[in-house]
Amino acid sequence: MCVCAPGPGLAFIAYPKAVSLMPVAPLWAALFFFMLLLLGLDSQGGMYVFQLFDYYSASGMTLLWQAFWECIVVAWVYGADRFMDDVARMIGYRPFPWMKWCWSFITPCVCLGIFLFHLVNYKPLTYNNVYVYPWWGEVIGWCLALSSMLCIPVSLLYKLFRAKGTFRERWNHLTTPVWGAHHLEYMAPDIKTLSSLSPSTDENKVIIFESVM
């Protein structure tokens, strides 16, 4: 690399031939300075945004909310016994009953209790116990949290609204497992052959499998 100054106030840098032949050189130059701009912005406010996202959207109440409803759906809607049978088909033996009690009672109660305790004792988010986030920062944080927390109740209400019949009929229709083709592959051969079963028939919804002991 050499530096030449052909005149006063004018200078240019001659780079090696390999660098000068770089394809789309203006694009890479623009991306390089754009990277410097982003690094500067991240150094000024990146930690504040990261902590805001981590506090409201990636941990705390959001995960407790998701874990609570996941246990409710698995244990009480799909059925803990049915889920135990599914696990037994995959691993070859029925899990210890303690797992069923955890899915049905212990884990939902613990998640709900911690969630309510965190909600009652809620305090505004601070950074290093010095900087208190403004009100609009709290609004952004709650929007981030509700963007994932509202998916469960909104989906439930949407499905109930779209279904037909009375409320009990809609609920029974939405909470009744429907066997798909990938479920039929794991059926015991002594019950029925795969060719005689169809995922769309109502008969497949009430098939009871013997637990693998």
For residue 195, what are its two tokens? 């060719």
39 marked among binding-site residues = yes
If we measure between CA atoms, which residue out of 69, 60, 76, 55 comes closest to residue 153? 69
Sign of the dihedral through C-alpha 53, 55, 56, 61 = positive
Which residue positions form the known binding site? Answer: 39
Which residue positions form the known binding site for Na(+)? Answer: 39
